[in-house]
Structure 1
């Protein structure tokens, strides 16, 4: 049995490719700099290439035989709430509590239930990765645990 791609999937993938190519082109209009000191055009160029590649995959991916499910508004609400809460808490409470709230709210909004052990492990793991990446490696001015609440 031959499965046909939906036209909407192909058009959506093509739209993503066009957007990615535009971002990459816009990046080439800025200075690239050198490998030791990258310029402002380096990131948009790389991001545009990645977006275009993902658009190509989306357009050419074989169709799935699953039935489509109804849109889950609960997930949309909780994921949006998780991002807003993270943005509000990261400066006032610190990276670790903000990341923990992000993990908890996204778990509540998910379609599948996860165990408390998995939830705690995910929160600890993401907090550790965030600490090492953003605070230690990139040296962003973030605190793991802030001292002043809503100051």
Structure 2
């Protein structure tokens, strides 16, 4: 049995040798789904703080939300990002844990998107769905023209 575990660990180590921080966060976010995390019921809509996005890159963005009123120390939160506001063309989805020691906030790093495009995103937790946010990826690595504006607000 110990030999099998050692082989498994060696195989796992070989696979993660070139893993980036973003790959690790995405893989870590999937753990609740793999572990059969039970569905948490929340007393009221946990998304009163809204949703936000930031740190746009040509192929990704960071999505954010914070849960309100969660009593559990770990709350599974799913997210989706789509090419349309009706979520008919899903561009990505995943799961993260909202941890009590981090104020039940969630930062989902999304990658694999197309440059210079608008996307719509939302979060789901405890049977509740957040408001829909809209974000945009940065233009390609070397755009002919680039405009940048900064606004500090959620949604």
* Category of TM-score, reference length = shorter chain: under 0.3
**TM-score computed with the length of structure 1 as normaliser:** 0.23
**TM-score computed with the length of structure 2 as normaliser:** 0.23
Q: Which has the higher strand share?
A: 2
- Structure showing greater radius of gyration is 1
Q: Which has the higher helix share?
A: 1
